[in-house]
Chains A and B, each alone.
Chain A
Amino acid sequence: MTTFAIQGRCLAAPPPLDWREQLARMLGAKPRRIGNWAELGMYGALSCLADSGEGELPPDALLMLGSQRGTYVSTGQVLEQMRDDLPMPLTFLQTQPSQLLALLAAQMRWRGHAGFVAGGTPQALLQLASAQCGRAGMLLGWVDEMDGGSSLWLRLRPCEVSGDKPVVASAESMFSLDATHLYVVGSGAQAG
């Protein structure tokens, strides 16, 4: 069993009404033509990192992102554009979930291992990420545009401490204010 301490979080589901203004303040300017999904992701990731108190993500940390439907809105727009012409280049880029990884890396002035996993559950994402992350831990996010949008992020560091009564995690318990640790076992993730 691997234990992770939750060192920071952003639980924006849905995000606050002024999340775009908050994002613009964090970036120093309004983001330009990166798409709503990527903006949501940046808002959550940067808020989470700020909550952790870390000025920057360590280079050997893992950045892992998941989503139920990802860039489906931008993809629909591109398919519409392609009925009688090529897509707009920047709109096409918005269909690529990995663009968010590059945007985050640039904003955090960070270079390291990052990935996007499509579908599944946050628990499955955590299981996969935990096998790949080292002592610097990970920044793990789950971002979707449906139902008003959600941007759920955790800054996790491996630790020795274990909680009293870990319970099998649902997405709700993983991304709750009550959880202080996450436990990854062979068959799934647990929260405590």
Chain B
Amino acid sequence: MNPIHLAGRGLACSLGLSVEQALATLRQGGSQASQVTLPGAMAGNYPFQGIPYSQADWNERARELVQRVAAEAGAQPIRDGVLLIATSSFDIGAVERCATQMDYQAFADKIAAWLDWSGRVHVVNTACTSSLNALLAAQALLRSGAAADALVLGVELDNRLTLGGFAALQLLSRTASQPFGAQRDGLVLGEAVAALRLSTRDPALWKLAGGANVVDGEQPTGASVRAVNEMCARALADSGAAADSIDLVKVQAAGSPGNDAVEAQGLREAFPVLPPLVSLKAAMGHTMGASGAAEIALLTACLEQGVWPACGHEMDAELGVGLAPAMPQNVRRFMATILGFGGSHASVVLERA
């Protein structure tokens, strides 16, 4: 079985319009969240990590961001490969502006046309875990030999439906995202377009070793301890890695009072000795279906260039876990986890090639 390399990556998020811009912003301590105002019973301002790129037309903005990110990932030569679009909100922002109809296939066709894509296209929506599930699907296709190249494209752009829905469920923070924090009070949502180019042909610094997704119906809007545990075990088994060989875990931890606690307990049970942990949610917000791809794009770059996200808030001692204040030495293998709506718990393992 040929190794599956992370041959390219691209990112647009609140930290900047490229991986390099995002790293530069992180070096300077991060970006300031903007504010969005929502109507009704939960009316008020909520912090939001939007992409710093203005364009009045939703579709034009999306097109420019998608093309920019795909180009950064080096997608142009593999346009006859597999394209896996990962999203939880499709182009609902354009629907809200009456700029399009809600139609899954039209959304897929639109993005394929923007990229002049001639290969297969699939749209994966498993809420927040969409990108990681797209990555697992790409891995399966590449392992089977059905394709040699794949592009996982996470797309999560401005829309009122997601913000309003999360506000209605009382999941949003009014202040800031504080992963595993003592004062954590909810999520801060964000935008991202992120691309991960996978290849069995092009060698690269990182390879995708394996992963797993576990859906558990115990708690449809959140995580369960047993599923976190099982997700870790399955991801390790699929990767051929032992728990003590994981040098770092990029956690979901978005600052949710309940979910952070569940994740912490699950990780403590899954790892006899807990590896160092990192969360990118305070830096870029929770970018929903794009978060898996966006956070892997950023984290691999951080590890290569020695940049580490600042963590200025106090940890919740009762959780029994904490975020690494500085980059761990010699990270050769890390696990990246996203937990989401629909009882979905997904994790992948990447290692240096």
Contacts and interface: CB of A to CB of B under 8 A. Distances in A.
Interface stretch (A4-12, A77-85, A161-169): A77-85
Contacts of A117: 122-125
B103 interface: yes
A102 B217 contact: yes
A119 B215 contact: no
A76 B92 CA distance: 10
Contacts of B217: 102-107, 110-111
Given A86-B41, A120-B105, A131-B137, A115 B213 contact: yes
Interface in B59-100: 88, 90, 92, 95-96
B215 A112 contact: yes
B220 A93 contact: yes
Interface in A39-83: 63, 67-70, 72, 75-76, 78-79, 82
A28 interface: no
Nearest to A76: B102
A124 B96 CA distance: 29
Given A98-B126, A101-B343, A120-B108, A128 B137 contact: yes
A19 interface: no
Contacts of B140: 131-132
Interface residues of B, number: 56
A86 B39 CA distance: 6
A105 B343 CA distance: 9
A22 to B, nearest CB: 21
B269 interface: no
Contact of B168 (A70, A88, A107, A115): A88
Interface centre among A88, A107, A119 (most CB of B within 10 A): A119
A63 B215 contact: yes
B341 A78 contact: no
A78 B161 contact: yes
Given A70-B104, A82-B160, A119-B108, A75 B221 contact: no
B247 interface: no
A86 B124 contact: no
Interface in A6-43: none
Given A85-B41, A131-B141, A79 B126 contact: no
Given A86-B165, A92-B164, A116-B126, 18 more contacts: A63-B215, A68-B105, A75-B102, A86-B38, A86-B41, A99-B341, A102-B220, A105-B343, A111-B214, A112-B214, A113-B213, A116-B125, A118-B125, A119-B104, A119-B108, A124-B120, A131-B141, A132-B140
Interface of B: 38-42, 88, 90, 92, 95-96, 102-105, 107-108, 120-127, 133, 136-137, 140-141, 143-144, 146, 160-161, 164-165, 167-169, 212-218, 220-221, 226-227, 230, 340-344
Interface of A: 63, 67-70, 72, 75-76, 78-79, 82, 84-89, 92-93, 95-107, 110-120, 124, 127-128, 131-132, 186
